[in-house]
């Protein structure tokens, strides 16, 4: 590998960070995310956590969350992080689809991508932008997890030692969960002409691919391994786990990400700029 490869990745990643945290459109997206997350944190998450705490103290042998299908929340020592886990498994993959949609497509449509690769290479641009988008998502996930920790400490500061492991495990797992979605958007962005097309194709592929493979796996169980091809297929199983047990399925997003990045790199190498 060329020694300047990682330097170019770093430069391109920095550009993505600057585009998200310095430009007006990027800041608007960050502020919108912050407002939405604050509403989730202060209302459904906080209120549900208080209900869980009260339920543990008052009811024995009956749980409202068992009735509505969220009994796994009781396995978490700190209820706020159990709820954060469930919210994050829905919110951050969807955010990843929107945030990572425009990795290379708009530059190709404007014709600027051919000038960028004069001083770099297609591989460096492809992987550099993927890495930059992942760093942005890591920062957002970390900020959301830290805000949840602050909510826990506001309720009971003595929970710090119990909350810290939960903070680490959910942060690592949510980062792993968004990896294949970001890789899928990198591959789609290398093929289509706009972020909107990439988003639409992602939703269509995600929906129909999951339905077709799910149907095949149901009638032909020997084909169940094909479910590994669907980004996020393990999320429903992850929601039933708690603590460090959630890392049992870490191989799934890692494998999916490698396959999708290989496909995206192949498309990028052959696509007309």
Instruction: Identify the pLDDT of residue 197.
Output: 92
Residues 223 and 221: their CA atoms lie apart, in Å, by: 5
Instruction: Identify the pLDDT of residue 200.
Output: 92
Residues 173 and 232: their CA atoms lie apart, in Å, by: 12
Contacts with 260 (C-beta within 8 Å, 6 or more apart), sequence order: 180, 183, 184, 186, 187, 231
Which string of b and e fits 26-39 if b means at least 16 CB within 10 Å? Answer: beebbeebeeebee
pLDDT-based confidence at 67, cuts 50/70/90?
Answer: low
Instruction: Identify the pLDDT of residue 140.
Output: 95
| Higher pLDDT among residues 35 and 20, named by residue | 35
DSSP H or E segment with residue 87: helix 79-99
By the 8 A CB rule, do 181 and 100 touch?
yes
Instruction: Identify the pLDDT of residue 120.
Output: 82
| Higher pLDDT among residues 207 and 42, named by residue | 42
Strand segments, DSSP code E, in the chain are: none
The SS3 call for residue 265 is helix
What is the residue-averaged pLDDT of the chain?
86
* DSSP letter, residue 241: -
Tokens 């993959």 found at:
93
- The CA dihedral of 197, 18, 110, 265, to the nearest 10 degrees, is -60
| Higher pLDDT among residues 68 and 110, named by residue | 110
| Higher pLDDT among residues 128 and 52, named by residue | 128
Q: Give the tens place of pLDDT for each residue, 235-269.
A: 888 888 887 888 888 999 999 999 999 999 999 99
> What DSSP assignment string belongs to 188-202?
HHTTSSSHHHHHHHH
Angle of the 24-40 helix axis to the 79-99 helix axis, nearest 10: 150
Task: Of 66-80, 143-157, 197-211, 225-239, give the range with the top mean pLDDT.
Answer: 143-157
Q: How far apart are the first and last CA of the chain?
A: 23
* C-alpha closest to that of 55 among 44, 68, 65, 42: 65
Tokens of 202: 């992602």
Task: Tell the burial category of 161 from Cβ atoms under 10 Å away from its Cβ (0-12, 13-18, 19+).
Answer: exposed
Tokens 């469930």 found at:
86
Q: Give the tens place of pLDDT for each residue, 146-202.
A: 999 999 999 889 999 989 999 999 999 999 999 999 999 999 999 998 999 999 999
Instruction: Identify the pLDDT of residue 210.
Output: 80
Instruction: Identify the pLDDT of residue 58.
Output: 60
| Higher pLDDT among residues 118 and 124, named by residue | 124
Cα angle: 127, vertex 34, 105; to 5 degrees:
30
By the 8 A CB rule, do 242 and 267 touch?
no
Other beta carbons within 10 Å of 112: 12
User: pTM (2 decimals)?
Assistant: 0.90
User: Does pLDDT of 66 surpass 70?
Assistant: no
Cα–Cα distance list, 55 to 79, 85, 145 (Å) = 11, 19, 24
């Amino acid at each position: 590998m060329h020694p300047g490869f990682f330097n170019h990745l770093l430069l391109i990643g920095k550009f993505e960070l600057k585009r998200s945290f310095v430009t007006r459109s990027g800041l608007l997206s960050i502020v919108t995310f912050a407002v939405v997350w604050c509403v989730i944190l202060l209302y459904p998450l906080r209120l549900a956590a208080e209900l869980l705490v009260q339920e543990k103290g008052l009811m024995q042998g009956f749980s409202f969350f068992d009735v509505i299908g969220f009994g796994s929340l009781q396995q978490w020592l700190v209820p706020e992080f159990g709820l954060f886990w469930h919210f994050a498994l829905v919110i951050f993959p969807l955010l990843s689809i929107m945030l990572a949609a425009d990795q290379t497509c708009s530059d190709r449509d404007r014709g600027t991508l051919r000038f960028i690769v004069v001083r770099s290479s297609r591989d460096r641009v492809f992987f550099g932008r993927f890495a930059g988008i992942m760093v942005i998502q890591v920062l957002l996930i970390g900020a959301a997890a830290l805000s949840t920790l602050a909510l826990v400490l506001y309720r009971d500061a003595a929970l710090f030692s119990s909350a810290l492991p939960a903070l680490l495990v959910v942060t690592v797992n949510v980062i792993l969960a968004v990896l294949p979605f970001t890789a899928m958007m990198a591959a789609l962005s290398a093929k289509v002409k706009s972020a909107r097309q990439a988003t639409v194709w992602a939703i269509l592929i995600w929906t129909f691919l999951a339905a077709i493979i799910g149907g095949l796996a149901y009638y032909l169980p020997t084909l169940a391994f094909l479910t590994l091809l669907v980004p996020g297929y393990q999320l429903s199983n992850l929601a039933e786990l708690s603590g460090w047990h959630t890392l049992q399925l870490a191989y799934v997003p890692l494998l999916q990400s490698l396959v999708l990045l290989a496909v995206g790199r192949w498309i990028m190498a052959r696509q007309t700029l």
